[in-house]
Amino acid sequence: MEKISIIVPCYKEEAALPYFWEESSKVTNDMKVKYPELSFEYIFVDDGSTDGTLKVLKELAAASPEVKYVSFSRNFGKEAAIYAGLEKSTGDYVAMMDADLQDPPSLLPKMYECVKSGEYDCAATRRVDRKGEPPIRSFFARQFYKIMRKISKADIVDGARDFRLMTRQMVDAILSMSEYNRFSKGIFGWVGFKTKWLEFENRERISGETKWSFWKLLFYSIDGIVAFSTAPLAIASVMGLIFCLMAFIGIIVTIIRALVSPASSAFGWPSMICVILLVGGILMFCIGILGQYLAKTYLEVKRRPIYIVKEENEIKE
């Protein structure tokens, strides 16, 4: 017997969940027929929703013995929900999927085929387009992936979704990274293992609306960079060096000029103000970068729990 755990983070998804359940349970039921050795376990993580999400989940759990729900005491974010799901999962394989059907469950059989053969440890998905997304968001997303690939060791793929199926071995590796500042896309890449990439066309969410505003995404991307690269710190040092060099050249030029024509040495007050402002700005910028890392370190050393569970049910084997 083999079991697949499906983790579904849900935040205010009361409208989308019935559609999700209908479509994904159809796929998993078909899979059980096709592969008699398979069984499933759904782990819905209610990330502190303020709508009727938990009620819908309880109804699903009452109707199906495959459903486990975990409900957080407040909204801890999708990353925390994924971590909780991974911790609670008991399957030989673990899949994760969004509740809004933007990750097509119909890809599951193909993903299972990929990892079952043992050739791959993970079947991940990426969307080949960003249809239906604001162009400015797509632009920034592309730039983010470009920069991230240059400055970090984690192999982050453009358009990669969190929708993936992994072996237990890989899940345990991910769980061993118990950091507080979780950036899944980086963590998945960082742990390594052999990944098969499947592609699909972007789908719009079935119902409800996205929880990611432009600003939330921007800050999330900064979190990602801070979590997986120290390049910004190096940039700060390099900028400092460049400015020292410039100042040094400036000093020499000023001395020579004062010696050659003493009258011109008082010249250039406006340009000096500009330089002071520029240097001051760059200093503040670099202190800001330092602050980002310090803040993350501060949160990390506090060792706060990644999530707090308010209630959950147990699946009877």
Binding site for Mg ion (CB under 5 A): 98, 100, 102, 205
**Judged by CB under 6 A, does residue 212 bind ligand UDP?**
yes
Q: Which one, 103 or 121, has the nearer CB to ligand UDP?
A: 103
* Total residues found in the chain within this entry: 317
The entry of Mg ion, ligand UDP, none that residue 95 binds, CB within 5 to 8 Å by partner kind: none
The entry of ligand UDP, Mg ion, none that residue 81 binds, CB within 5 to 8 Å by partner kind: ligand UDP
> CB of 103: closest distance to Mg ion in angstroms?
8
C-alpha 28/C-alpha 109 separation (Å) is: 8
| Binder of ligand UDP out of 7, 13, 122, 148 (CB under 6 A) | 13
DSSP per position, 232-301: HHHHHHHHHHHHHHHHHHHHHHHHHHHHH-GGGGG--HHHHHHHHHHHHHHHHHHHHHHHHHHHHHHHHH
**Judged by CB under 6 A, does residue 78 bind ligand UDP?**
yes
The entry of Mg ion, ligand UDP, none that residue 116 binds, CB within 5 to 8 Å by partner kind: none
Q: Residue 93: in which H helix or E strand, if any? A: strand 93-96
Tokens 């398979």 belong to residue: 38
- Displacement of CA 97 from its chain's centroid (Å): 14
**Judged by CB under 6 A, does residue 9 bind ligand UDP?**
yes
Rg, the chain, Cα only: 25
C-alpha distances in angstroms, 150 versus 113, 220, 274?
32, 18, 32
> CB of 207: closest distance to Mg ion in angstroms?
11
The entry of ligand UDP, Mg ion, none that residue 77 binds, CB within 5 to 8 Å by partner kind: ligand UDP
> CB of 115: closest distance to Mg ion in angstroms?
24
DSSP state of 156: P
C-alpha 243/C-alpha 304 separation (Å) is: 40
Q: Which one, 97 or 227, has the nearer CB to Mg ion?
A: 97
Q: Which one, 102 or 167, has the nearer CB to ligand UDP?
A: 102
Binding interface with ligand UDP (CB under 6 A): 9-11, 13, 47, 75, 77-78, 81, 98-100, 102, 205, 210-212
